[in-house]
Amino acid sequence: MRYRSTALYIVAAALFAGCHSANRTTTTTTETTTTSSPPAAGAVDPQSVTAADYIAAIQSARTPAAEADAIRQLRQWEIANGLTYRIQTVRTDSNTPVAEPSALAAGVPVRTEVTLFRGRDAVRTFQFNPKDKANLALFGE
């Protein structure tokens, strides 16, 4: 019996001596490369932080659809930056203010002036000749 318990201790000691945990540390490095194509003509780079970029996109829009997209981007930028605006549209032939420019006939040319405000302070004023008077509805006009 004594021989048996000694043998049991030897086997147990051999098992414990053979079993040990190995600590391994694995480090994985991930490199992310982001490439982006330049914005389309008339579009604004989303990382842009100035009103001038959005205004230039509206003023240089070649089509009514591009103009509408640029106005939407400006409105989103205004909202994100806590700005408000005032818009005034006049007939270019008579310099007469127009209450509802989208109701005018298609051939009547208009000029729109937009003033951006932060609180009561005017931040920027710009003008443009809308490609499509219906786009002025995107300003709430």
| Percentage of residues of the chain with pLDDT beyond 70 | 65
What is the rounded average pLDDT for all residues in the chain? 77
Single pTM value for the model: 0.63
- Residue 13 pLDDT > 70: no
- Kindly state whether residue 67 falls inside one of the protein's structural domains: yes
User: pLDDT digit string (tens) for 81-131?
Assistant: 899 999 999 999 899 998 888 777 778 899 999 999 999 999 999 999 999
Question: Does the residue 8 lie in any domain?
Answer: no
pLDDT computed for residue 1 by the predictor = 55
Cα–Cα–Cα angle for 96, 97, 99, nearest 5°? 135
Residue span of the structural domain in which 100 resides: 51-139
Q: Which residues contact 123 (CB under 8 A, 6 or more apart)?
A: 51, 83, 116, 117
CATH assignment at residue 127: 3.30.1300
Number of structural domains in the chain: 1
